Structure 1
Amino acid sequence: MGRPKVPLISKHTTLEAALRIIDEEGIEELSIRRLARELDVNGASLYHHFRNKDEILLGAARLALEDARLLGSTDVDWREWFIGQARLYRRALLDHPALVTIILKQHPHRIALEFYDEAVRVLRENGVPTPSIIPLIEMMESFTFGSVLYMAAARNDDDDLGESYKALAEARRRAAGHVDDEQVWEAAARAMVDAALEVGTRRIRPARKRAKSS
């Protein structure tokens, strides 16, 4: 389908509308037709800015994560900078949990290659050993994605356990009054930073050759 010569809507406006539909109605409800109706335009108009629906989904994800960046704030300890960045990223994903599945359809770094390239430079210049940088980033992101998916599912579970599972129900009640999920996440994240540094500085041992059977 050819693109119209004159854009009827802006790219940013389109992505805002797409993100709104994803958040309010679910990712499965987003379609070219639904988005065009939201913007009160003909569906063909969307092809001025986007090749297909997948490009719109990725654009919506990038828009939602636009403010979850701390590059430039490197006048503090790199650990605090790194944890702060991960915290912002997690909060943005918690606000838009459906985006996790969009991001994970590709390598997560591809959602913002320029940012990750700059983040690697910041960590390296602040003394993080180069072999530890990718394990550090990937360990934190896999933990954060898992945390967001789990919290989204837990929030949607409003079924009363009743008297069938007394121990679990009591543990949930006590945790609700004493434990903040972000504090738990941050405590684990800080421990993971040290673990990633240790793993990253180990040399991979070559596999032992199996002895030939006589």
Structure 2
Amino acid sequence: MTIDPFQLFDSWFAEARASEPNDSNAMTLATVDAGGQPSARMVLLKGHGPDGFVFYTNRGSRKAGDLLASPRAALLFHWKSLRRQIRIEGPVVQVTDAESDAYFASRSRDSQLGAWASEQSRPLDARATFERRYEEARTRFEGGEVPRPPHWGGYRVAPSAIEFWQDREHRLHERRLFQRDGESWSEGLLYP
């Protein structure tokens, strides 16, 4: 009987939250640009479920440009303390404005102001320029709520494949691959 890969993810993620010293929700996000040039960076998982895995970013960033050109991505969770990793691949869609608004409202005020101040991934002449822009945002929204910037929001990776990798002695690792098959999942093993 095939286990639901999301139940297995939840189990492994709960163990990672209990054992990883920092950012158990950190994941590598790999994208490609219009010319096929790959790029990878760390982002934080901010939501997940059967519909996918969610992260948030500036929609003017390089990763957002890559996703606009090629709306597919790969994610990688690596939990060194558990000697485990999970790889996820699939198409990417933007989350709704309501989802982005709700998550943005949960962020610290300083993080909200930083989203207004940053032109993420663009060249910066000096740190002082960013700090000045941050202070301008702080002044602009002083005494009130900080709304979500129109250039900031979330993305959902809807998995077509999820691989669970468990370290074993002598590099005899265990690899379980789940592949979406319509509305269900098929499960198989891979050689280490």
TM-score of the superposed pair, with normalisation by structure 1: 0.24
Q: Tell me: higher relative CO, structure 1 or 2? Use CA pairs within 8 A at least 6 residues apart.
A: 2
Structure with the largest fraction of helix:
1
TM-score of the superposed pair, with normalisation by structure 2: 0.26
Asked which structure has the greater CA Rg, the reply is 1
